[in-house]
Amino acid sequence: MLIPIEGVLSKDEVRQFREQLAAAPWEDGLKTAGTLARAVKRNQQLADGSPLAVELGNRILRKLGNNPLFISAALPSRIYPPKFNRYADGGTYGAHVDSAVMQVPGSSVSVRSDLSATLFLAEPDEYDGGELEIEGPFGIQAAKLEAGDMVLYPSSSLHRVMPVTRGARIASFMWIQSMVQNDSSRTLLFDLDQAIQGMSGVVPPDDERLLKLTAVYHNLLRQWAQP
């Protein structure tokens, strides 16, 4: 399930982020690369735990906590603190799968990566290349979204960032541990929730059909959720 979420950040918020990131002390992304990733990863990142990364990451988390589409799609239990990267001058990240379990730096908290998310902070016309390609059951899907938009996809997917040949691709990325670990179950709940929301405002809130669908949703969530 690949889900675009528009307007996580407003254009004004993106501008503020970009102004702060313009003077950021970017580091070689190889510092956080595993053994296999070192052969395919070429980018820059903000250091984990840097004051700027923490400040901007917390702003993103507050926005996501109030985003109904994100909550519906991810059913988040834990979120690995947002990280920030930059691709330029041929920067790329070859095909890879994200680690299954990640420890939050400076803590004893671990996050199981059920979902991965990329929040774009550069407009598509600011750079050439840089598409996020995600392999799924229906082939390869490419994402290159407007600044402020996010794409959410299963962490189990093989994915890559294509080489950036002009400009710079700037983004935030993170991993989510969902209350519902199974992707198929989570997809069914998302589709059901979207159908219920689509009925809201069309039929009365006490309509028997709406009440039954809502009951089915919560009973399935009760059965599958692992808070």
Ligand-binding site membership of 218 (annotated): no
Q: Per-residue confidence at 38, pLDDT binned at 50, 70, 90?
A: confident
Q: Is the pLDDT of residue 190 over 70?
A: yes
Domains of the chain: 3-178 (2.60.120.620), 183-224 (4.10.860)
Q: CA separation (Å) from 46 to 10, 160, 198? A: 22, 19, 40
Give the predicted TM-score (pTM) of the model.
Answer: 0.94
Give the amino acid at 108.
Answer: S
DSSP, res 36: T
Q: Per-residue confidence at 148, pLDDT binned at 50, 70, 90?
A: very high
Ligand-binding site membership of 48 (annotated): no
Token pair, residue 180, equals 């519902």
Ligand-binding site membership of 96 (annotated): yes
Q: What angle is formed at CA 56 by the lines to CA 52 and CA 61, rounded to 5 degrees? A: 145
DSSP, res 153: E
Ligand-binding site membership of 42 (annotated): no
